[in-house]
Structure 1
Amino acid sequence: MNQPILIDRDGHRTWLKWHRARHRAADPVFTGERIIEAMRLGASIEVDLVIHADHGCAVLHDLTLERETTGTGRVRDTSATTLRQLHLRDNDGQPIASKVMLLEDLCALLTRETVHPDALLQLDFKEDRQALGPEIVTGFGVSVSPIAGSVILSSGDFDAIATLAGSAPGLRTGYDPCHRGTLAALQASGNYLGFIEDALATAPDADIIYLAYEIVLAAEDAGVDIIAPIHAAGRRVDAWTINSVTPQSIEQVTRLLRLRVDQITTDDPEGLAEVFSK
C-alpha cells in the first residue's frame, strides 16, 4: 500500500491532508503522536486553533469544550493551565490519555523532532480578526517562528491571517472563501468564476485556496472548471473534506483527481491511499 500522504495520477500529484491530525478514521483528533508521525513522514496535516482566556491559542476545533475534551464551558473562558489538564476524547466520546495542547506546546514539540522537508502543518484559525489582541499576535509569532518553514496558516478571515502571519516571517498563508450557504448561492447564481476571482483578490498572498469539495464538483456539473484559474494564478487548491471511504466518496475523489486538485482533506488518509494504490 502507498504511504497515506499522496496520490500520483496522470502526471499530477495530489496530497492527502490529515484532517484534525487523523491518520485513519478511527483516530482521535489532535494527538501529539499523530502530528509527530505526519511531520516525520512528510505528510500534510491540519489542526485547528481557538483562543483561550490567557490570550493564546488552544489546539481545538470547537469554541466550547464538551465535545472534544473532558472540560466544560467556552474555550475563551478557560485558562491555559486548566486546558493543559484536560484530556481529549475519542470518536465515541470517551476520554483518552492524550491531553489538550496549546499552540506553544505543539510548536515546542515539533522543534524537538526531525521534520521531513515535505511536511506541512496547517494551522486553521477558527475565529476572526476582531478576536485578535496584541498579546495573541505576539505569542503566535514567538511560538510559530521557529517552525514557520513547515507551517501554513489558514482561515476564512484573511484579515486575521494577515495579522497573525505578520508576526512570523516566512509563514505561508491560505484562504477558505467557503461558508454556510455558499454552495446554494453559487448553484442559484452560476457565478463560479466570479467566486474564484473574488477569493484570489481577497487573499493575494495565499498559497492555497481551500474549497469545499461539493463546490468544486457542482461547478464541474455546471460546466465550469474552477481549478484552472487558481492554477493560472500560481496558487494551489485544497478540496475539503472527505470524511470516510465509501463508494460515493471514492467516485467523488476520482473526479477531484481528474480535475487536478493539489490536496484533498480527509479523515481517512490511510483508507483513501489503500483504495487509490490499486
Structure 2
Amino acid sequence: MTGTRPEPFPDIVRDGHRTRLKWHRARRRLTDEPFTVARIREGLAAGASVEIDVRVRRDGTVEIRHDPRRWWRPESGPVGTLADLADLAALADLAALSGTGAVLQLDIKDSGTVLRRRMTARSRETVRVALGELGPAVILSAGDPAAVAVFADTLPGAAVGTDPCTRGRIRELRRTGDVPGFVASTVAAAPDATTVYLDHRVVTGAADAGSDIVAAFHAGGMAVDAYTVPTADEATVPLLERLLDLRVDQITTDDPEGVFRRLR
C-alpha cells in the first residue's frame, strides 16, 4: 500500500493491560452501514480489528451476511459478496508490517456440514483471491470448529478462533457452574485457536460466581474477546468498565470510536 498511512486506531490501556475495540460488522461508528468495503479497508489500514460475517449460498457464492436468508425478512439479505473484497490484497504489505495489528475476522455463520456441501472450487478460489495474501492478518471464527476447518483448508496461513457460546453449552454452564470444564472442553475442541469469543454475559456471570474465566482462558493460551456491547451509554458504561477490569483482550462493539471516546 502506498501513500500516507492513517492514524492507528487506538486501544484502551488499563493497569498495563491492553484491550482492543473490534469493529463489529465493520462499523467504526454506530451510525455506519455494516460491512462496507470502504470501512473494511479503512479499519485494516489503521491497524484495527475488523469483523465481517459470511454465509455460503447453495450455488457456492460466499455472501457477506449475518442472518440466514428468509423470504419474509428481506432485510436479512446479503450486503455483498466476498468477491467484493478482492482488492484487499493491496493491503497485504501493510498487514505484514510489524506492529500494525491489523486483523480481519471472518465469522462463519454456516455449520461445517453445510459448508462441506456448498463450498465449491469457485467458492474456494474466491476466498483465496480475496483474503489469501493477508495471511495471519485473517482470523477464522465460528461456533462450529468444523466450519473453521473448511475455510482453514483454503486459507492455511490464517489464524483460528472459536466461539463456544452455543445455547446448549451456555445452558449446561449455567446448570453446572463448571467453568474449568467449560474452558477445558473449549480448548480441546479447538486446540489451534488463539482467540476465544465469549458472550459478555458468560464473562460477567462467571465472575459473579467467583470464577475468572478470562484468566482461565489466558492460562490455556487463548486471548478473550467479549461480545457484543453496541455502544457506550449510561446503561453500558458500567459493563464496559467491568470487562476492562476483568482484563479481556478485545471488546466487540458497533461503536468503537464512541466507546474509546467515552472510556479513554
**1:110 counterpart (76, 88, 104):** 88
1:59 counterpart = 2:64: yes
CA contact (8 A) 1:49 1:126 kept: yes
Query: Residues 166-245 of structure 1: matches in 2 within 5 Å?
Result: 166-180=153-167, 182-245=169-232
Alpha-carbon distance, 1:36 to partner: 1.1
For residue 42 of structure 1, the aligned residue among 30, 36, 47 is: 47
Deviation at 1:160? 1.4
Letter in 2 for 1:118: G
State the 1:101 CA deviation.
Answer: 2.6
CA contact (8 A) 1:122 1:152 kept: yes
Q: Which has the higher helix share?
A: 2
Q: Give the TM-score of the pair, scaled to structure 2.
A: 0.86
Distance (whole Å) between structure 2 residues aligned to residue 255 and residue 196 of structure 1 = 21
Residue 3 of structure 2: aligned partner: none
Give structure 2 stretches of 5+ with no counterpart.
Answer: 1-6
Query: Stretches of 4+ moved more than 6 A in 1?
Result: none
1:166 aligns to what SS in structure 2? helix
CA distance in 2, matches of 1:34, 1:218: 33
Note the C-alpha offset of 1:132.
1.8
Q: Identify if the C-alpha distance between structure 1 residues 184 and 3 changes in structure 2 by more than 3 Å, giving closer, same or farther.
A: farther
* 1:30 is aligned to 2:35: yes
Q: Which amino acid aligns with 1:103?
A: L
Give the Å deviation of 1:103.
1.3
Q: Give yes or no for the alignment of 1:129 onto 2:112.
A: yes
Distance 1:3 1:254, change over 3 A: farther
Identity of aligned residues (%): 41
> Counterparts of 1:243 and 1:13 in 2: how far apart (Å)?
20
Structure 1: stretches of 5+ with no match in the other structure: 70-74, 76-99
Partner secondary structure for residue 123 of structure 1: strand
Q: Aligned to 1:247, what secondary structure does the other structure show?
A: coil
Deviations 1:227-251 (A, max 9, x none): 1121112211100000122223111
Which of the numbers 239, 242, 254 marks the counterpart of 1:255?
A: 242
Give RMSD over aligned pairs: 2.0
Greater shift in the superposed pair: 41-50 or 224-233: 224-233
Normalising by the residue count of structure 1, what TM-score does the alignment of the two structures yield? 0.82
